[in-house]
Structures are given as structure tokens and as C-alpha cells.
Amino acid sequence: MGNFPILTAVTFLPLAGAVLIMLVRAMTGSQESDVASGNKALTAGLIFSVATFLASLVMLASFDIGAPGYQLVEEVSWFANVQYKLGVDGLSLLLILLTTLLTPLSLIASFGSVKERLTEYTIAFLVLETFMIGVFCALDMVLFYVFFEAGLIPMFIIIGVWGGADRIYASYKFFLYTLLGSLFMLAAVVFMYLQAGTSDIAQLETFAFAPEVQTWLWLAFFASFAVKLPMWPVHTWLPDAHVQAPTAGSVILAGILLKMGGYGFLRFSLPMFPDASELFQPFMFVLSVVAIVYASLVAFRQTDMKKLIAYSSVAHMGFVTLGIFSFTEVGVQGAIFQMISHGLISGALFLIVGVVYDRMHTREIAAYGGLVHRMPVYAAMFMLFSMANVGLPGTSGFVGEILTMTGAFQASTWAAAGAALGVIFSAVYMLTLYRRTVFGQITNPDLEGIKDVDLKEIITLAPLIIGTILLGIAPNIVFNITRESSLRALQMITGG
Amino acid sequence: MLPDFLLLFIVLAPGLAALVAGLFQKYVTDNGAMIITTGTVGLAGILSVIQLFMFAFGGHAPDAVLTAAPADGGHGGGPVHAVHHVITLFTWIDVGQFQADWAIRVDALSIVMMAVITGVSGLVHLYSWGYMSEDPHRARFFSYLSLFTFMMLMLVTADNFIQLFFGWEGVGLASYLLIGFWYHNKAPNDAAIKAFVTNRVGDFGLALGIMAVFVVFGSVEFEPVLNAIKENASVTPLALAEAAPVRELVIPFLAYDVPALELIGVLLFIGAMGKSAQFFLHVWLPDAMEGPTPVSALIHAATMVTAGVYLVCLMSPIYEYAPVAAGMVTLIGAVTALYAATVGLAQNDIKRVIAYSTCSQLGYMFFAAGIGAYQAAMFHLFTHAFFKALLFLGAGSVIHGMHHEQDMRRMGGVAKFMPYTYAAMMIGTIAIIGLGLPHTQLGFAGFFSKDAILETAFAAGENGVTFGQLAFWFGILAALLTSFYSWRLIYMTFHGPREDSIPPEVHEVDSHADDHLAQDEHGHQHDHHEDPHESPLVMLVPLGLLSLGAIFAGLIFYGSFVGHHQADFWAGAIYTTGDNHLLEEKYNVPEWVFWAPLMVTITGFLIATFTYLFNRGFGRRIAESGGPLHSLFANKWYFDEIYNATFVRGTHWLGGFLWKTGDKRIIDGLGPDGITSLVQRSSKRLSAMHTGYLYHYAFVIIGAALVFGAVIFWRVGGAG
């Protein structure tokens, strides 16, 4: 590839698409309510996001698996000592791939499902994609912060404009929480820059902050990442955001935005503040286990399908923090794997809910029942993802859970035992949901004529089915890529 | 052992068949799916049974892996490695020391299990051709059956704990799908979820046990773990404690310091309790009878529920050095054997009687393993598979012939309509009660294995093994009850006049209304006055073959499993310490111990005969008089009620509380909503002050000036 800036290309290709769509729209004049032009815009957006996916495959091909440190680095001076610096390691590589995979899938899912302002909708998604990719490959703290915060805006708009009835409340809650966390992070970023004289992430990883300073910096970053992940007790924005977001928004939210929290802990908290991380390990374990058990119990009582899956996400992200803060290779590898796996499974589950929502326009569990009689293919796919969500071995859900718990067991048997309780509850809420919606007799007459999944829905779900099973049977594909990143994240801790 | 390609075929082909039948049912049609799955599993069954015979009688020259497997286990702490053969397929998980492959590992234990699984499964596949002939979803049914077979084979051929767990949860999935096969009804759905969740409670223990294994041994593969125990190797538990010889190692768990092997033994056994429906975690098994009867025979009698016994036997090195954990296995097993037998006395649903009987027999296997007679446990597992599958399929034949009637009170006199089924059920009953003449080779399969268990239990009791004596006496008592309820089943079902006069309201199992609906959908005309009919040949052939097993399996394999050739047969797959001579000592127990099982069996038979055959109605009168003991038994000791009141209600309440109070009132109330309303309230108050009247402002200004003035005056004055 020579010196071709592949990361810049992957990052900004979607944004270029968005700009192009805007220009075309400006030139063709005002046809806002025109569905045909909206569909054209969506198609164009899809083409750009698929192109981004292909570009990210090129990135994967140019990546040297197992080589130490960051690769494909691009560096340009920006202002002061701040660099425009991009680069990837195994961890960011996979999260970028997840982003470039889920974005086109959510755009496909939007065909026919979103009817208003399709052009703006497409633009919002493309802009969001650029920011998400940017977060994962930024190697400069300031650049990272810019992407991290900028990503808030398109998501805020997606929920606020294309969301459900209570979208304003949900989007403000989302904004309020994430912004609050970000302010602390901004202060920490400025402070670190002043102290270390650089905002280069690779250099900061080896910069030794004084232990008492680390504590405050760790807390500031924690505020931001804990909200994003989200951890208990700052999780309540997530169910509301999910319920109100359009299907594609939920897919991206659960699939990728939540992962920024886990990514942040691995990229910043562990390597830069190792002493503080060790100090806060018990604290993180408590929050993780509470998240797992608490969210699973709450999920059990939900009457709204999306809310249930949102709470299930909170529980599953608890395994991520549990694994990261076990400070073991097994735990960290498991946590990274859990992030990828959860991206596929929760994305798929939101698509699954979207399928029946598009037909029935309700997410109430009680409105369904007996779907298997009319939608056998749907029922089979829903079963697969339900089982993946409860962590059945053979699906990707299992690998992340068992590894994070095993890692935690080495650090605290209490944490492992608590998390294992969550594995029981996940079966309770997921099987209950499945049984109430899919099994039983059809009692709601509106369901009599409901159609099984169509080609568009199969196309969106098929890659996720393949991914869930493939990673369940051969997770080593992931582990080989992320091994080096995991060990590096732990270097400061196990070494110091 | 068979060549690799045949082993691969046996394990993988049922999985492929399940995929084809499940995913392509549109193209292969119901009949295609039935042929593909039955053919594959049947062939695998034939191969596995040949393999078992070859292994037991063809001799297997000790190859390089086998160092020694002395008859008396006399090597004690010395390395006694199992004869085994591993085909590694590919790496599954490779993270640090956490290494797990997809592999097919075959040793004596797996050879026995493979024969049982594929043999019974093949017959159940065949039987289902008749039993499920009117069901519109046959392709799905056969796909699930084959999926189950595949998962079960993966379980018994794993070479590491993770693949074992894959099979373990995989059979749980298949069980869930098959219990809930008639998913349009409430009862099967409830039962399916109950089974899955109860098993998950067990898996909670199993998963923690596997984590403990990893932390202690730094590996999740069987060979290094089991060999370390056999050699008492020094291990360094990751981050938990100092290095120590594994048998003396103590690790912290929760608030306690516990011996590592005891901890692992107990945790793994909790998993076994769930899967094998042992006391406390048994509640799902009777409800699982909502599934089609062939499923009950295959999964909930012959194979899946024995996975726990298999696990304990496979982990024999752990339990040999974990007396407390082994004591727990014995106690739970003995209690289950007796408990389930008491409940079996008072059930009226033919399948539930057999389900509790299964539960009870599993208890026998567990206490045998707990006292250290793993071989006897495996032997009973083996013979039990034949006669219990036979009883279930026989019961299925009756249910089929009676147009889906399951209540024995509405049966009676069926023998003359269904002579072959009757014969099969008689053979199954004689086998399960363990009829046979001590000191001779005369006896049915159950005689050999059950007596081996009771004799070793007595010997263990004499040796002072924890709970050994209790296990023996509970076992004897349970044998009495087994004989009684088994004959009661025969008499109520097959003898006497036909009793179809009881209206359906009397049914104690509320699910039946649903069942009838289901079967009506399947095209059954629900008419109780229609005469029962004998089942078709396709159902009778499996009954015949299983009958042969129920008669001869014990006689043929006694020498290999628990007799003089046992050490050669097991070839190290089961490990016993140098002090464990139970299998020899069982020949030297007092004479009355040999005869006691026969005596209680005859006693049970006589009581049943007098109350249910000669004085028909006597039993019913006792039931109707409703003494406290009968209520206790009939209501399964109120386990469901207690669990509902505590765990189910508790979870429900807690979930609601955390949601409404935790999330909404506290977190949102103090967090975003609280802040929002605070801002709104204060801004409202502020705007309320802006009244627009000049004198209000003036009043505030003057008032404020006065207050400030007063403060300044006071402070200045104070200074001056």
C-alpha cells in the first residue's frame, strides 16, 4: 500500500459521502418530502458505507497481526503540540471493522422503515460513522476527544428527530449524561497535556503520572467512560434512548457507541493510570457485578422489548468491565471479545425487534405471542440470537462471558460468583421474552396476517448470524488479533 | 477403538443430519428428514455398539499411553494414565494458559456412553416414525433429536472442560426445544423454561467449578488436570495462593479457605445435580414429561440426565481425594433415591411415575459414585438406559394406543389390547426392580447393577466411608418402594377392568386440557371410549431390541464393568486410590446383604399385588382418604410450592423493586429528573418573584438594605 493514508481514507470516506449527498441535494433544489430522492440518498449512503467497509478490509489486510505497537500510523502536525495522528492496534482494528460492518447493515434496515427526512437521516449516519471510526483510530488525545464528543451530536439528532413519542426526553437524558461525563474528561485531557507536554497517546502510555494525580485523572476519565458503557448507576439513559431511537440508531448505539467506554478503559485508564486502576479494582468489580445482576433482574420485568434488550446490554457490558479490571490476560481478552460479540448480538436483537416493529408499530411484549406460527424463519433467527445472548456455548456470547468470569475468578471469587448469577438470570429474561412473543397461540388478531422476514431483513441479519456462530466456534480469529493489545494494556499493571 | 474416520462419523454425522433436516426441511420434506436423521444415527448406533463389544471382549492391548491399570488400583499415588485416543479437530480458545480444542477423545467411559447414546437414540428415532406419524412438524422434531445426539456425543468425547460445557449446555438447549416442542401450549412452554433455568442454576456451579480448575491447574484440559491429581503434582494457583501439592492445596473461595479439590468437587457436582435432577434441583424433570414421549425416553431417562453421573465418574481422581465433596455426592444421591421413590408412589400420570423412578435410579448411580464405586455407577447407568428407555417407550406405546391418555386411573385392562407392549413393560419392570437370584447368573439387567451398587455401599459403610451406611439403607428402602410403584403401574395400566369413567376434571395435572387441544390439532379424535390398539411394528421393534438389552445387558457386561475384568475394561478411565477396594470387597459382604434386595423387592411386589391387583381400588381408597403422608408424596413434598413462594416470587418482586424504586425513583429521581425538576422549580420561584409591582421590588430592596445595614452595623459595632 506504500504510504497511502488508509486510516484517513476509512475514517473520512463516510463524511465525504455525507458532503456529497448534501451538495447534490443543494444543487437539485428543495424536494424535502420527496421519498424517491430520499431513497436515492439512502442508497448513496449505503454505497459509501459499503465502500468504507471494503476500505476497512484493505486496512485489515495491511495490518501485521502480532506485530507490536500501533500500525498504519499517520502523523501530521495540527496545532501547538497536538498532532493529527491516526493508527491502529488489534483492539481498534476490530472495533473499526465492527463499525464499518454495522453501519451499512443499519442503513439497509432503514429502507422502508424510516420514511421522513431520509436525506438528513443518511447524512447523520454517515457523519456518525466517521466520528466513531475516528474515536477508535485517533492516537492523539485531543483528536480522540474531538471525535468522542462530536459523535454525540449525530446520535442526539437521530434520537431527537427520528425517534418515538418520548424522543425529546430520551435525547436530552442521553445528552445530559454523556456531556456531564465528558466535561470531566476534558479537564483531565487539558491537565495531562500541560503536565506531560504531549497529547500523543503512545507517549502518554509510558508517561508515569504521580499516583495521587492518577487517582483524579482516573476518576475524570471514569466519569466519561462509565456513562458511555454504561455502568450502574449511570445507566438509566440507555433504556430510554434505545426505546425512542429508530431501529438503526439502536443498532449503532448498542453495537458501537457503548464500546467506546470499554475502549477508553483499555486505551487510557489501564496503561496511563495503572496505580489508580489497581486502586479502583474492587470498586469496579462491585459496579460490574451490580450491573450484571441488577440489570438482569430489571430486564426480567420489562414490558417493552427494546427496554428489555437495553437492560440486557447493561448486564452484558458489566462483563466487559469485569474482565478489564481483572488485570489478567484471560479477562482482558475476554472483555475485548465480549465487546465484539455484544456488538453483533445486541445489534442483531435490535434488528429482530425492528422486524416486528415495522409490521406492528408496537414494542409491547403483550401485543405479540404465537409469532412462530406465521414467521418460522424469524422464530429460528430470534432463537439463535436469544441463545447467543444467554451465552450458550457455540455462540460468541459464551466465549466472552466465560473468559471474563475466569479472569475475575483469579482476582476475586466473589466477583466471579456474582457474575455467574447473572448467567442464570439472563436465561430467565431472555427465554421469557421469547416465549411471550414467539411461542404460544396467536391471541392478537392483528398478527394473523403478519409476514415472515423478507429478503432485506435476511440480508441485514445473515452477516450477524454468520459472525455470531463463527466467532463462537473459532474465536481465535479475534484473539490472535487482540493478543498484543491486551498484553500491552496490562504491561504497566503486571509490570509495575 | 474404531478408526478415526468412523469415530468422526459417529460424533459429527448426527450434527450434520440435524442441520440438513432443520435448515433444509422445505427441500428434503418430512420423510427425507426422517430418513436422513434416522439413517445417520442408526448407523452411528450400530458402529458404537460394535465398538463397545470390541472394547469389552476383543481386548485392547495396552498401548503406549497405558502405564498401568492394576486390578487393585495398587499404585496409589502413582501415575495411572487412561488408555485414550484423541483426534484434535482445531483450536477453539487459545488465550494464555486457557487452551481448549475441539477434539474427539475416546476412552472406556466415552465408549460406554457413545454406545448408550447412539444406540438408544437410533431406536428412539425409529420409534418416533410411528409415535410422531401424525405430527405436522416431524422434520423439526427429528432435527432436534439428532441435534441432541450430536451435543451429547460432544459432551462425552470432549478432551477439555470447555467442550464438555459446550455439550452440557447444548443438550440443555435440545432438551429445552424438545420439552417445548408443542409450543402452542402453556404447559410445555412453562416446563421448557423451568428445565432450562433449573439447569442453569446447576451450570452456575459447573462454570465456577471450571474456573476453579483453571485457576488451580492453569489448564482446562482433562489430561494435565487429572494427571496432576493422580501424581499429586505441585501446582501454583494463579494469583490465589502459594504453590503446593494439589491434594493439600488450600485456596480462598468467597470468605473461606477451602481445599482446592473439595471446592472443585462440590462445584462440579452442583452442575451434575442440575443436569441429573438430583434433590433440590430435581423439580424440572417431572415437568419435562410435557415433551413427546420418545424425548422422555431418550433425553430424560437414558442419556442426558446421566451426564452428571458421567461427569462424576470422569472426575474420579478429584472425588477420590475430596472426601467431603464425595460425601455430598453420596448424601444427595441417597436422599434423591429415596425421595423420588416416595413421590413415585403417589403419582397417577404414567409418565410422571417413570420420571420419578428415573430420578430415584439416578440417585443410586450418584451414591455409588460418591462412595467410590464409580464402575458400579457406570454399570447402572448402562443397564438403566435399556430398561428405562424401554419403560418410557412402552408407556408411550400405551399412550399412543390409548389416544393420548396419560392418567393411569383412566386405564386398566390394556394388556389384552396391547400384548406386545404389555410384554415389553413387564420385562422393563422386572429389570428395574432388579429381580435375580444372588450368587447365580440368573437375573435381569437391573439385578446385576443395582445389587453391585448396594453391595459396594454396604462394604463402604463397613469401611467407614462417609454416608456409606446411610446410602445402603436408603438404597434398600428405595428398592422396596421401586418394586411397589413399578408393579402398581403395571396393575393400574394393564390389569383389571377398563376404567374410563372418571371425568377429566379429576385429572390432577392441569396441563391436560392443553394437551388435548394439542392432540386434537394433530388430528386425533379424542374419544376415550374407543378401544386401545397395539402400536405399529416400527414402534414395537425398538421395544423388542431394548427388551433384549433389559434382559441380557447386565449378564453380558457384568465381568467387564464391575467384575473381575473391570480394571482391564476401564483401562484407567476410572481412577481409584490404593485404599479403594470396594469392587473386591463386595464379594465378601455378609450373606444377608446379598439377599436383602431380593427380599424387599418381593415384599414390594406382594404389597402392590394385594392392593392394586387382588383388591383393586384399595390403593385409590387410600389416596382418597388423603392422609398427610399421601398428600406429602402426591404433592412432591411441596417443592414446587416452596420454590414458587421463594425464588420465583422473590425474583419477580426484586426485579420490580429495582426497576421502579431503584432506577426510577432513586437513580432518575436524584439524577437527571431530579436535576431537571430542581432547575424548573427554582426558575419558577425566581419568575414568581418578578411580579411587576414596583412596591414589591421596593420592599425587597429596602428590606435587603436594612438587613445588610444591620449586619454591617453589628459587625462594626462589635469591633468598636
Instruction: For B335-352, write each residue's pLDDT tens digit.
Output: 999 999 999 988 889 999
User: What does the alpha-carbon distance between residue A335 and residue A303 come to, in Å, rounded to a whole number?
Assistant: 30
Q: What is the pLDDT of residue A435?
A: 93
pLDDT in tens, A87-100: 999 999 999 999 99
CB contact at 8 A, B426 and B546: no
Distance CA B564, CA A434 (A): 53
Report d(CA A176, CA A114) in Å as an integer. 26
Mean pLDDT, all residues of chain B? 87
Q: Name chain A contacts of B281, Cβ cutoff 8 Å.
A: none
Asked if A88 is an interface residue toward chain B (Cβ–Cβ < 8 A), one would say: no
**For chain B, what percent of residues have pLDDT higher than 90?**
60
The pLDDT value recorded for residue B255 is: 84
pLDDT at B571 over 50: yes
The pLDDT value given to residue B162: 96
CA nearest to B671 within chain A: A234
CB-CB under 8 Å, B165 with A479: no
Contact A333 B96 (CB under 8 A): yes
Contact assignment for A409 to B208 by CB distance below 8 Å: yes
Q: Do A439 and B189 touch (CB under 8 A)?
A: yes
Q: What is the distance between the alpha carbons of residues B366 and B329, in angstroms, rounded to a whole number? A: 6
Cα A16 to Cα A45, A56, A187, distances in angstroms: 10, 16, 31
B179 CB-contact burial (10 Å; exposed 0-12 / middle 13-18 / buried 19+): buried
Whether the pLDDT of residue A362 is over 60: the answer is: yes
Q: Using pLDDT thresholds of 50, 70 and 90, give the confidence band for residue A291.
A: very high
Question: From the list B91, B185, B211, which residue is nearest A406 (CB)?
Answer: B211
Q: Which pLDDT score, from 0 to 100, does residue B498 have?
A: 75
pLDDT-wise least confident of A344-358, B396-410, B513-527: B513-527
- Residues composing chain B: 720
pLDDT at B457: 95
Q: Give mean pLDDT, residues A408-412.
A: 92
d(CA A303, CA B396): 39
Q: Point out which residues pair with B349 in neighbouring strands.
A: B407
CB within 8 Å: A298 and B90? no
B184/A440 CB distance under 8 A = yes
pLDDT at residue A31, rounded to an integer: 54
Give the pLDDT confidence of B391-412 residue by residue, as tens digits: 999 999 999 988 888 888 888 8
Please give the share of chain B, as a percent, with pLDDT higher than 70.
90
DSSP per position, B3-70: -HHHHHHHHHHHHHHHHHHHHTHHHHHHHHHHHHHHHHHHHHHHHHHHHHHHHHHS-----TT-----
A180 in reach of chain B (CB within 8 A): no
Instruction: Considering only the beta carbons, identify the residue of A402, A410, A427 that sits closest to B200.
Output: A427
Q: Which residue has the higher pLDDT, A495 or A62?
A: A62
Contacts of A237 in chain B (CB under 8 A): 672
For an interface test with A, the pick among B93, B153, B649 (most A C-beta atoms closer than 10 Å) comes out as B93
- Determine the distance in angstroms separating the CA of A259 from the nearest CA of chain B, rounded to an integer: 21
Respond yes or no on whether the N-terminal peptide bond of residue A233 is cis (omega within 30° of 0). Answer: yes
With an 8 Å Cβ cutoff, are A236 and B189 in contact? no
Comparing CA positions, the residue from B265, B150, B304, B273 lying closest to residue B200 is B273
- Is any Cβ of chain B less than 8 angstroms from the Cβ of A171? no
Contact A236 B95 (CB under 8 A): no
Which has more pLDDT, B316 or B669? B316
pLDDT for B386 beyond 70: yes
User: What band does A114 get if pLDDT is binned at 50, 70 and 90?
Assistant: confident
Q: Which of B95, B208, B239 sits opposite A417 (nearest CB)?
A: B208
Q: Which pLDDT band holds residue A167 (cuts at 50, 70, 90)?
A: confident
Contacts of B216 in chain A (CB under 8 A): none
Query: What is the predicted pLDDT for the residue at B717?
Result: 59
Contact B94, A479 (CB under 8 A): yes
Write the CA distances from B361 to B276, B387, B641, integer angstroms: 10, 11, 24
- Decide: A264 and A221 in contact? Cβ < 8 Å: yes
Partners of residue A233 in chain B, C-beta under 8 Å? 667, 671
Nearest-neighbour CA in chain A from B239: distance (Å):
6
**What pLDDT is recorded for position B229?**
93
Measured distance CA(A99)–CA(A5) in Å, rounded: 19
Q: Helices A396-411 and A413-437, interaxial angle, to 10°?
A: 160
- Rounded to a whole number of angstroms, the distance from the CA of A382 to the nearest CA of chain B is 14
Task: Single out the residue of A226, A235, A244 nearest to residue A315, CA to CA.
Answer: A235
Mean pLDDT value of segment A172-188: 85
Report pLDDT digits (tens) over B201-229.
999 999 999 999 999 999 999 999 999 99
pLDDT exceeds 70 at position B375: yes
- Cell numbers at residue A313, please? 446490554
Q: Find the helix or strand (DSSP H, E) in which A346 lies.
A: helix A329-360
Give which of B23, B95, B659 to mutate to test A binding, by max A Cβ within 10 Å.
B95
Average pLDDT over residues A430-444: 92
Quick one: cell of B473? 439403607
Mean pLDDT of B537-556: 94
pLDDT tens-digit readout, B266-289: 999 999 999 999 999 999 999 999
The pLDDT value given to residue B682: 76
Contact residues, chain A, for B215 at CB < 8 Å: 406, 409-410
Q: Quick check: B464 pLDDT over 90? A: no
CA distance B93 to chain A (A): 6
Please give the residue of chain B at the shortest CA–CA distance from A420: B204
Tell which A residues from 351 to 390 touch B, by Cβ distance under 8 Å: 370, 372-373, 387
What's the rounded Cα separation, in Å, for the pair B81 and B222? 11
Does the structure show a pLDDT above 80 at B64? no
C-alpha cell at B199: 439447569
Question: What confidence category does residue B423 fall into, taking pLDDT thresholds of 50, 70 and 90?
Answer: very high
- Average of per-residue pLDDT across A332-341: 96
Using the beta-carbon criterion (under 8 Å), do B208 and A416 form an inter-chain contact? yes
Q: Which residues of B touch A303 (CB under 8 A)?
A: none
The answer to whether A66 contacts chain B (CB < 8 Å) is no
Size of interface A-B (CB pairs under 8 A): 155
User: Can you tell me the distance from the alpha carbon of B172 to that of A426, in angstroms, rounded to the nearest whole number?
Assistant: 15
Q: What is the CB neighbour count within 10 angstroms for residue B88?
A: 11
Q: Any CB–CB contact under 8 A between A489 and chain B?
A: no
The DSSP secondary-structure symbol of B81 reads P
Identify the bridge partners of residue B244 per DSSP, sorted by sequence position. Answer: B235
Note whether B96 contacts A330, CB cutoff 8 Å: yes
pLDDT of residue B634: 81
Residue A39 burial (10 A CB sphere; 0-12, 13-18, 19+): middle
Cross-strand partners of A393 = A395
In Å, the largest CA–CA distance within chain B is: 121
Using DSSP, state whether B259 is helix, strand or coil. Answer: strand
Q: Nearest chain B Cα to A391, which residue?
A: B169
* pLDDT attached to residue B522: 43
**φ, ψ for residue B129 (rounded to 5)?**
-55, -40
Under an 8 A CB cutoff, do A406 and B91 touch? no
Task: Determine, for residues A423 and B207 on separate chains, whether the beta-carbon distance falls below 8 Å.
Answer: yes
Interval B291-311: pLDDT, tens: 999 999 999 999 999 999 999
- Are B183 and A300 inside 8 Å of each other by CB? no
For residues A204 and A184, what is the distance between their CA atoms, to the nearest angstrom? 18
| Chain B residues with CB-CB distance to A398 below 8 A | 166, 169
Contact between residue B424 and residue B390 where contact means Cβ atoms under 8 Å apart: yes
pLDDT of residue B383: 96
| Predicted TM-score of the model (pTM) | 0.91
Which of A321, A331, A479, A340 is closest to A404 using CA atoms? A331
From the list B511, B155, B448, B486, the residue with the least C-alpha distance to B299 is B155
pLDDT of residue B332: 96
pLDDT band at B421 (very low <50, low <70, confident <90, very high): very high
Best probe of the B interface among A168, A439, A478, by most B CBs < 10 A, is A439
A:295-334 residues touching chain B, CB 8 A cutoff: 297-302, 328-330, 333-334
Answer for the pair B126, B42: CB distance below 8 angstroms, yes or no: yes
Peptide bond connecting B136 to the previous residue in cis, omega within 30 degrees of 0 = no
Nearest CA in chain B to A387: B173
- Three cell numbers at B524? 386425533
Distance from CA of B343 to the nearest CA of A (A): 28
Half-sphere exposure of A49 (CA within 13 A, CB side): 31
A458 versus B77: which is more confidently predicted? A458
Quick check: A115 contacting B, CB < 8 Å? no
DSSP 8-state code for residue B301: I
- Nearest by CB to B658, from A297, A409, A416: name it: A297
* CB distance A60 to A93 below 8 Å: yes
* Set of chain A residues whose Cβ sits within 8 Å of the Cβ of B659: 297-298, 301-302
Q: Name the closest residue on chain B to residue A169, using Cα atoms.
A: B673
Q: E strands along B264-402, which residues?
A: none
> Across chain A, what does the average pLDDT equal?
91
pLDDT digits (tens, 9 = 90+) for B94-117: 999 999 999 999 999 999 999 999
Q: Is the pLDDT of residue B716 over 80?
A: no
